[in-house]
Amino acid sequence: MPHRARRRFSQNFLIDRACIDRIVRAIAPSQGDHIVEIGPGLGALTHPLLNAVGRLDAIEIDRDAAQSLHQQFSSQGLTVHCVDFLDFDLGSLGTDLRVIGNLPYHISTPILFTVDQSRACVEDCHFMLQKEVVDRMVASPASAAYGRLSVMLQCGWQMQKLFDVPPTAFRPQPKIWSSVVRMLPVKNVFIADTELFYRIVEAAFSKRRKTLRNALRELLAPADFEASNIDPGRRGETLSIEDFAALANRLSARLSASSE
């Protein structure tokens, strides 16, 4: 009996052979690569990738899909982890991981942040997500799509939108287009205190029409803006990654000095 897509898992199974081949070519798997697939579903990408690399870890929350994958591919080097990825320790699989996945739309952002927390053990990522989300991930300052997600990810990743995927490539068909993105871990800027950086970014974008002076008044003093050479009359959407890092590092230094 064919596996039915489950709405609670936001399942849309990739069925277009040309699209599958294009994604595999973009990943460019080599023998010995340690690939980790998030949400493999029916194994559309699992099979060709497993053939290319010889081993693969799959993280699948759907028990029926996980069992089917295990039955089909365990003898070929597939290890299936039937667990919610948000509760999974990616670092437990080792280092130099190549992470891929057709991510469920409803929790794609939490998955991205979970992967980000394990950035040190990742070689690269190739994800298919809602087109709107990918556009936000790669957006530049002062553009309509630029926001919290852009800044949070771009401070630690180099990202490239590869191509768009139409709804007809899936079963059942979603109502929106998808896009494939490549992510490479990098150290774009120095951030003294990651938690402070995240707090400043979140506050700056909490109300996009507020100036930095108003949005960050509980975190930063006028002297902090002056020391960072940033006009407090600007809005968060106009700041670069470097600007946010400068404000966070200034705040970190001031708090450290006051505690001595």
Q: What is the pLDDT of residues 159-190, one digit of tens each?
A: 999 999 999 999 889 899 999 999 999 988 99
| Position 11 confidence tier, pLDDT thresholds 50, 70, 90 | low
Domain 7-185 has CATH 3.40.50.150: yes
pLDDT in tens, 218-241: 999 999 999 999 999 999 999 999
Helix (H, G, I), strand (E, B), or coil: what is residue 94? coil
In this structure, are residues 152 and 137 in contact, taking their beta carbons and an 8 Å threshold? no
Sign of CA dihedral 196, 86, 8, 78: positive
Phi, psi of 234 (to 5 degrees): -75, 165
pLDDT in tens, 12-29: 889 999 999 999 999 999
What is the second-level CATH architecture of the domain 194-259? Orthogonal Bundle (1.10)
Question: Which residues of the chain does CATH 1.10.8.100 include?
Answer: 194-259
pTM summary value: 0.91
Question: Which residues of the chain does CATH 3.40.50.150 include?
Answer: 7-185
